[in-house]
Amino acid sequence: MYGAILGDIIGSPYEFDHNNIKTKDFPLFSKHSQFTDDTVLTLAIAEAVMQFDMEEGFDTLATLAEASMRKWGKKYPHAGYGIRFANWLFLDGREPYNSLGNGSAMRVSPVAWAFDDIDTVRKAAVAVTIPTHNHPEGVKGAEATASAIFLARKGRSKAEIKEYIEKEFGYDLSRTCDEIRPAYRHDETCMRTVPEAITAFLEGESFEDVIRTAVSLGGDSDTLTAIAGSIAEGFYGISDELKSQAIDRLDGPLRIVLCKFEVEMMTLADCGGISPDILEDIIF
């Protein structure tokens, strides 16, 4: 999840066409680097995943995801939600709104770390997506992103990941970033964000290089970079220094969810440099 959060934070100053920079040469962090709705909803999904019992079935996971997104979305009302999600959230709309937006892909990374086979990962990705993004393209974007993260963390090569995504989801990954960059503009749909994010991952030579490559494409920079960063984390890992940068930019409640997820799904040692004793006092 750190990859998605760091992508969001690092990409946030460059969101929207008037802020796009179209270069890999920029400071990773500045006073304008902050978490947005991408981080809030990623951590909401993480909480839902931690509450889920496989014996209850994926309908239960969908219910938990909806409740968690409503809880955390209302806790952070100014995080930068899209108009339709904000209406669903603040007007208490009960039905999914057939979204094909890239929000489904930006928030899905926790499921790729929580389950240990790709079929389950894909079913979980659908479950946490359909409370809002029940359009086929919205579901596909989430499934493809979660699949890429899972394959990356399981040690598959970039060629294998590319082949799987193209075969299973039909995305065109043949363009290079140099071909994408000049004409690419802000677009909040899955079909014009997820392939570009995956391409940035495929071309990047390290976690940081993936992040820089994704930002350089322009477009919906925080979300595109959150998606690319979430895949890059699985493939390259993330340094303790960068994890600490993410932790430092979250406030207490979000930090606790992130650290608890690390405790339950990975190891205490990975949790942003926070000692196990202190972490246990905070959480338990």
The residue ranges of every structural domain in the chain are 2-245
- Write down the pLDDT at residue 273: 52
List, in sequence order, every residue forming a beta bridge with 101; answer none if it has no partner.
189
Query: 274: pLDDT confidence band, cut at 50, 70 and 90?
Result: low
- 8 A C-beta contact, residue 190 and residue 105: yes
Mean pLDDT throughout 50-64? 96
Binning pLDDT at 50, 70 and 90, where does residue 35 land? very high
Does residue 217 have a pLDDT over 50? yes
58 pLDDT above the threshold of 90: yes
Specify the pLDDT at position 268. 41
Q: Half-sphere exposure (CA, 13 Å, Cβ side) for 267?
A: 3
Query: Which stretch of 36-45, 83-92, 129-138 has the lowest confidence by average pLDDT?
Result: 83-92
Read off the pLDDT of each residue in 217-225 and give the average, rounded to a whole number: 97
Q: What is the average pLDDT across 9-27?
A: 94
Matching CATH number, 2-245, of 3.20.20.70, 1.10.4080.10, 3.90.226.10, 3.40.50.300:
1.10.4080.10
Q: What pLDDT band is residue 269 in, cutting at 50, 70 and 90?
A: very low
pLDDT at 213 over 70: yes
Can you give the length of the chain in residues?
284
Share of the chain above pLDDT 90, in %: 88
14: Cβ contacts below 8 Å, ≥ 6 apart = 20, 21, 26, 215, 218, 221, 222
pTM of the predicted model, to two decimals?
Answer: 0.93
* pLDDT (mean) for 39-50: 98
Q: Is residue 283 predicted with pLDDT exceeding 50?
A: no
Per the rule left: phi > 0, alpha: psi between -120 and 50, beta: everything else, 272 is left
Q: By the 8 A CB rule, do 7 and 227 touch?
A: yes
Q: CA dist 134 to 7, 59, 131, 185, 205, Å? A: 25, 14, 7, 25, 34
**Separation between Cα atoms, residue 283 and residue 29, nearest integer Å:** 28
- Confidence tier at 270 by pLDDT (50, 70, 90): very low
Name the pLDDT band for 121 (thresholds 50, 70, 90).
very high
Q: Is the pLDDT of residue 29 over 60?
A: yes
Measured in degrees and rounded to the nearest 5, phi and psi for residue 189 equal: -90, 155
